Chain A
């Protein structure tokens, strides 16, 4: 790879994962992960809101999951860009506290405030941004963020919103498997077909790419945005809960802390089983002990249905890519769940090649995102990603039937143009309902948004001619523009997203987070001023016992007393200016005292000095 670093840098790559998130950057040696303050490269995607409003992210939040589950949330990526009726299954398995008023946009209750999923994700992103800023000692305003390839428009938009709320300019959303292929540097082989199998914490993606002279052309992608290591955890957890109930005669499932501790124990056992043939699920809780041996044979048998669920999308992807299995030269494994031996062997059986596992499957997506960041900055010019849209885009026509405009697996950016007219004399607006999915009927597809073409000049039915352009950009996000064919003027389009935040709502959240940051800053300044006040007050108290104090006039001593009292009066007020002003007043009043003391000290010092 040729890297030119004579270009503005500090665009980071972020893997915003269901379970863990990472931030990476590119330097002359290649892409690298930025460690957090605790030295850990993985930042658990867990957020906790403390009673005083302080937001805790990552490993410390993961600990709070045990003791403060009601103000702590994990796996929020599962809710991104989704509606309440979409997540009913999730709600049975995850302790999400849905707040009232979540009909159009989900709100989670954390302590006494509610947060939308993009706001929670923004907390994780803000933490990663801070980690990078601390590491570089410079501001990090821009980022590339990865998303599952199979994410729909609303899920992508929600991720982009999260970036904006976190104060990041999201230069690009990149599909996780595609990013991973960049990290693997597979272009060393000049030409070939590569499959990327990405089984993460909550999502599964399969992408098939064609590599040619530095161009990474995605031929097809498929997946399941609700399939991952979490499903294995839930399965084991359910069994362990039953087991515990049998042994202890106690149902742990209603005990938040107990469930979280047991979840941790099964995850631990699951992870060990990738390396040893047998291990124990162990829990010590409130004086009771649970221990159960689990062997890999049983584990494999239990998770076979989950692993099998990944194979259907793989087969469809191969078919859509228009290649046969034996044309696939390499398979790359991505995501922590690909450490599981059964997953490895299932993939090897299907593709009939030994999969690549050289890179850490937890890090490879973030590393690839850093490479894409370097492509966007201009530092890397010999590589180019050509990605596809995972789902077909269509509009609702008569009788609730979908008319497809852009087919799935089309290279993005992709566009389609349609002409619309009015059906009734004098009609002033036309409503366009845009959906995503492969099915024939609107009710079986995913509603994206309703676009309202407004202010059409009144004229007889069928006379208006409005050309609407649907464009899926390089992020996989839909943009709609409309033009009046008669006047050639841009036509206004009013967008109502079906699931997700309007632009105004995002703006408001950005505003709030800026205000919050300003408030935090102001509070810190007040605290610092109080520390300064403490220092000077202590010094004055000490000086009162000094000879120099008795050399002052009565007026001078009265002025000091007055200044001290006035400073003490404002000390607890949250008024920075007032505190600083009174500190300054005390400084002035004690100036002569300080000088006299200084002179005495100098005289003393000189006396003691041996020349």
Chain B
């Protein structure tokens, strides 16, 4: 936690604990989601247990608990609970969790440009765009085609999610860069399909 591993308050060794074992003062929090939550860096997480851990730490770290404490601890509590909230928000969602692990491992997970069509989807995307164009032009006869596309892409999404699952397991068994770079490819593909689905959905149900 603190660089030297010594409590800022009493200078005793903190043994890497969030709260000093000697004087119980809150230490500067680690800026890593897994470290703060005290979790192993796994891609598969039990979200129920994650939530329990989040509530437990919120009770101990929230600024409400530090109003009567020294200014340093109030600041650490603000830092710690903001990281904790960001961590929970990120890790409870499998896709955001995977993106976080990739980013921490040094992968570039910037926004996928929508122009980079995955080659295996080229034909389908071309046809979809035609149908979308027709719909937007007021031609309702393209509706069945769009509905067909929606169910196709939904099926692809299920496949992608299954792939993600197996890559999660692969990484958790042996954490290395190989499954991660594979993971990045699948995430990009997922993002692309998600965008297409959103577009089709917006066209089919214009009121929402």
Contacts and interface: CB of A to CB of B under 8 A. Distances in A.
Co-assembled chains A and B: yes
Given A215-B55, A413-B78, A376 B85 contact: no
Contact of A415 (B55, B63, B64, B82): B82
Contacts of A474: 62-64, 78, 81
A318 to B, nearest CB: 13
B88 interface: yes
A311 to B, nearest CB: 15
A376 B58 contact: no
B83 A473 contact: no
Nearest to A409: B89
A412 interface: yes
Nearest to A479: B78
Q: Which 3 A-B pairs have the closest CB atoms?
A: A413-B82, A415-B82, A411-B85
Contact of A411 (B67, B68, B89): B89
Interface of B: 55, 58-59, 62-64, 67-68, 78, 81-83, 85-86, 88-89
B59 A385 contact: no
A377 interface: yes
Given A375-B64, A377-B67, A474-B63, A414 B86 contact: yes
Contacts of B82: 412-415, 471
A375 B78 CA distance: 16
Contacts, number: 53
A171 interface: yes
B63 A213 contact: no
Given A384-B62, A473-B63, A377 B78 contact: no
30 contacts: A7-B68, A8-B68, A213-B55, A215-B55, A215-B58, A215-B59, A217-B55, A375-B64, A376-B67, A377-B68, A378-B68, A384-B58, A385-B64, A386-B62, A410-B86, A410-B89, A411-B85, A412-B82, A412-B85, A413-B78, A413-B81, A413-B82, A413-B85, A414-B82, A415-B83, A415-B86, A471-B78, A471-B82, A474-B62, A474-B63
Contacts of B88: 411
A377 B88 CA distance: 27
A438 to B, nearest CB: 15
Contacts of A375: 64
A419 B58 CA distance: 28
B74 to A, nearest CB: 11
On chain A, which size bracket covers the interface? 20 to 34
Interface string A140-174: 00000000000000000000000000000001100
A375 B55 CA distance: 16
A7 B62 CA distance: 19
Contacts of B67: 171, 376-378
Given A384-B59, A386-B85, A410-B89, 10 more contacts: A217-B55, A412-B82, A412-B85, A413-B63, A414-B82, A471-B78, A471-B82, A474-B62, A474-B64, A474-B78
Contacts of A345: none
B89 A376 contact: no
Interface in A201-216: 212-213, 215
A473 B78 contact: yes
A554 B64 CA distance: 75
B64 A384 contact: yes
A386 B58 contact: yes
A171 B86 CA distance: 24
Contacts of B64: 172, 375-376, 384-385, 474
A410 B85 contact: yes
A7 B88 CA distance: 32
Contacts of A376: 64, 67
Nearest to A475: B63
A213 B63 CA distance: 19
A212 B59 CA distance: 12
Contacts of B89: 410-411
Contacts of B85: 386, 410-414
B58 to A, nearest CB: 6
A384 B57 CA distance: 12
Contacts of A171: 67
Contacts of B83: 415
A441 to B, nearest CB: 18
A372 B59 CA distance: 14
Interface string A399-436: 00000000000111111000000000000000000000
Contacts of A413: 63, 78, 81-82, 85
Contacts of A378: 67-68
A411 B78 CA distance: 13
Interface string A1-43: 0000001100000000000000000000000000000000000
B207 to A, nearest CB: 12
A411 B64 CA distance: 14
A215 B51 CA distance: 12
Contacts of A7: 68
B86 A212 contact: no
Nearest to B208: A319
Q: Which of A172, A212, A375, A384 has the most B CB atoms < 10 Å from its CB?
A: A384
B101 to A, nearest CB: 18
Nearest to A376: B67
A487 B90 CA distance: 30
Interface string A339-380: 000000000000000000000000000000000000111100
B92 to A, nearest CB: 11
Given A411-B88, A414-B85, A415-B86, A212 B78 contact: no
Q: For B64, B78, B85, B86, which residue has the most chain A Cβ atoms within 10 angstroms?
A: B64
B195 to A, nearest CB: 15
Give the residue among B58, B81, B82, B85 with the most A Cβ atoms within 10 A: B82
B52 to A, nearest CB: 9
Nearest to A215: B55
Contacts of B58: 215, 384, 386
B163 to A, nearest CB: 25
Interface string A441-469: 00000000000000000000000000000
A241 B62 CA distance: 53
A213 B68 CA distance: 24
Contacts of A412: 82, 85
Contacts of A410: 85-86, 89
A212 B55 contact: yes
Nearest to B89: A410
Contacts of A473: 63, 78
Interface string A251-291: 00000000000000000000000000000000000000000
A172 B55 CA distance: 21
B55 to A, nearest CB: 5
Contacts of A172: 64
B53 to A, nearest CB: 13
A412 B88 CA distance: 12
A6 B183 CA distance: 55
Contacts of A414: 82, 85-86
